[in-house]
Amino acid sequence: MENLSPRWSCLSNCRPLLVGGFLFLVHLIPVTGFAETTPSITLVPDEDGVQRITILMESYSFSPNDIIIQADKPVSIRLENHSFLIPHNFVIDNPAMGLHHEIDISAGDSVNLQLFLTTPGTYTFYCDKQFLFFPSHREEGMEGHLEVR
Ligand SMILES: [Cu+2]
């Protein structure tokens, strides 16, 4: 396509600017519900001994975000990003327990995470994505807890 009219070549050259501007506007959409805790969910292992849960990621929340699990049994977490255009991640970090995961999930995507936690306690997870000078998603309320019993 050598003979692009000036108008079309401008459109293709300006695409990053247009996408950036659109993402900027998406981030200006008002957010309701600040760091609300969903009712806690206690996982019951399936017949194969695996504790399974699906966590919905939205702007800006995890639901459920208060999950009680049993120690010494595998946990399978399906992370679904239900946001429009906004990428999220799932960070769970506890150096004392040798635990560190940081998983990116694009808008509309899902990822499975397997955990095996042996030490009872409360483990915080969050999304640390941040757009320019806006508050991080964690600051907007994207945080939750795994309580291991
Ligand atoms: Cu996020």
Please name every residue paired with 64 in a beta bridge, in sequence order, or none if there are none.
none
Residues with CB under 5 A from ligand 1 (ion): 88, 127, 129, 137, 142
Distance in angstroms (rounded) separating the CA atoms of residues 142 and 89: 10
Q: What spacing in Å lies between the alpha carbon of 128 and ligand 1's midpoint?
A: 6
Q: Which residue has the higher pLDDT, 142 or 95?
A: 142
> Whole-model pTM?
0.79
- Over residues 106-115, the pLDDT tens digits come to 999 999 999 9
Percent of the chain beyond pLDDT 70?
77
Distance in angstroms (rounded) separating the CA atoms of residues 67 and 46: 16
Asked whether 115 and 75 are in contact (CB, 8 A), the reply is yes
pLDDT over threshold 50, residue 30? no
pLDDT over threshold 50, residue 33? no
Distance in angstroms (rounded) separating the CA atoms of residues 54 and 112: 9
Look up residue 130 and give its two tokens.
């941040």
